[in-house]
Amino acid sequence: MKLSLTRTSLSSILAPLLCNSHPSHRPISSLSVSHRPTSLTPETTPLFLRPPTSSASLSDLLKFRNWAETLSSSAGASFSAQDNGPDTHLLLRELTWLLEDALENPKTLAYCNPSAVSNDLLVSLRTDLEELYTLWKQRIDERRPFQYIVGCEHWRDLVLGVREGVLIPRPETEQVVELVSDAIKGNDELGDGLWADLGTGSGAIAIGIARILRDRGMVIATDLSPVAVEVASFNVQRYNLQDKVVIRQGSWFGPLKEAEGDLVGIVSNPPYIPTEHINGLQAEVKHEPRLALDGGTDGIGDLLYLCNGAVSMLKPGGFFAFETNGEKQCKFLLDYMETKVKGSFNDINIVSDFAGIQRFVTGFRTR
């Protein structure tokens, strides 16, 4: 019976969230996007999803590949020396992926024998050859991130659409979903309840969680950036999760006032880079939105705000996981929770990422 109770309370919370029937309860900044159809222009549709409307001869395509390989070979070494940017191997691998996404039938290139190619064999492309030249020039000359070039990022088992204006999800962040998955194991209350992903960006974490919740709980995701909201909605729809993930525009907890005290979980990867470090970032990262990266003076402002908010937003027994800038922020946050909001949280833990850097703080709202 516990289950049906959970269900009832969940739907009563979600009803207003889903139907926007109480607009007066929501802060002004909160806009509804759920019934604005997400229409993407061809340029913002991930390359691999575009229709193969162009074509080029195989020999021209091979010429492009040779040109791009040469360009990458000379650039790679300097990028990695400059700011730990991509080396030649990586650039060449990206080039393979670009062609993989651009060709309707990627095998054509993989198994052709360059010396025995008939010049006029036509290959179907999802963008024209000229555009491929432009894109690769941008990759090398402007250090435009590869993920913006192809319009997608492979993250966990997902392929997420991304574009300028939204953060490219990081591999470290894959672990947030793992942490949630571990927390849910054997805990029906968490598995059946309402989760929040704050500052969802491309929707990565929200979608990851929705897929491990399967047909049980739900996720509500917020972001202040309208581009993020649009991209996240696109990704949610592509994975057919529009009934499980609600996207709201607004600041942090703003759009989910109705859910106060009812969330079973809060996750966030808020901007955490201290302002003074922004200028020294890797060239590719400078293409990403500042709103997604700049965490203010110490970089910890948003994390503290989320931590305070979690006290009232989480149900007793609810779980939280925050990504941080590293050891310093982790320790600060842990200390803050143990002293400043003493008694609100228990089982507070610092979890390291795969590179051994203390990256996440997790814990539970005290019952």
Partner 1 sequence: MSSYILKKSCTRSSLILSQNAALKFPLIAHLFSSLSQSQDANSTSAYNFLEKNTAGFPLFSHVRSKIPSGSRWKFVPSEFVRLFSSQAAVEPSTSDGLTVEGIINKQWPILGESESDWKSHASSIAQSVHLIKKRLQWKKLKVRLGILSAQLEKPDLWDDPVHAGKISREHGSLLGKMKEVNSIEQELLEHIDMIKLAREENDQELESESIKALLTMRKGVKEKELEALLAGEHDSSSCFIEVQAGAGGTESMDWAAMVIKMYEVWAQQRGYKVTVVDEMPGEMAGIKRATIKVDGQYAFGYAKAEVGVHRLVRISPFDSGKRRHTSFAAVAVIPILGDGSSRVQINESDLRIERMRAGGAGGQHVNTTESAVRITHIPTGISASCQNERSQHQNMASAMSVLQSRLDQLEMARQAQMNSRHTQSLTDISWGNQIRTFVLHPYRMVKDLRTNYEVSDPDSVLEGDLDGFILSFLSAHWIKRKTSCNLS
Ligand X SMILES: C[S@@+](CC[C@H](N)C(=O)[O-])C[C@H]1O[C@@H](n2cnc3c(N)ncnc32)[C@H](O)[C@@H]1O
What track of x and - describes contact with ligand X for positions 253 through 282 (by CB under 6 A)? ----------------xxx-----------
Any contact of residue 174 with partner 1 (CB under 8 A)?
yes
Contact between 325 and partner 1 by CB under 8 A: the answer reads: yes
- Give me 366's structure tokens: 């005290």
Tell me: does residue 199 bind ligand X (CB under 6 A). Answer: yes
Question: Is residue 156 part of the contact set for partner 1 (CB under 8 A)?
Answer: yes
Separation CA 195–CA 199 (nearest Å): 13
Q: Which amino acid makes up residue 139?
A: R
Q: Cα dist. 336→83, 233, 294, 357 in Å?
A: 34, 34, 21, 20
Give the shortest CB-308-to-partner 1 separation in angstroms.
22
**Binding to partner 1 by residue 282, rule CB under 8 A?**
yes
Q: What distance in Å separates the CA atoms of residue 171 and residue 204, rounded to the nearest whole number?
A: 11
Q: What is the largest CA-CA distance in the chain?
A: 74
Residues between 209 and 238 that touch ligand X (CB under 6 A): 222-225, 228
Tokens of 318: 């609810």
31 binds ligand X (CB under 6 A): no
Pick the stretch among 6-14, 53-61, 150-158, 333-341 that binds partner 1 (CB under 8 A). 150-158
**Nearest-approach distance from CB 310 to partner 1, in angstroms:** 21
Cβ atoms of residues 167 and 148 within 8 Å = no
Residue 76 or 309: the one with the smaller Cβ distance to ligand X is 309
205 binds, among ligand X, partner 1, none (CB under 5 to 8 A by kind): ligand X
Residue 27 CB, shortest distance to partner 1, in Å, is 26
Task: Tell me whether residue 71 or residue 209 sits nearer to ligand X (CB atom).
Answer: 209
- How far is Cα 265 from Cα 184, in angstroms, rounded to an integer? 10
In the complex, least distance from residue 313 CB atom to partner 1, rounded to whole angstroms: 24
Q: Which does 201 bind (CB under 5 to 8 A by kind): partner 1, ligand X, none?
A: ligand X
Which residues make up the interface to partner 1 (CB under 8 A)? 80, 84-87, 89-90, 92-94, 97, 107, 110-111, 113, 145-147, 153-158, 167-168, 170-174, 269, 271-273, 277, 281-282, 284-285, 288, 292-293, 323, 325-326, 353-355, 357, 359
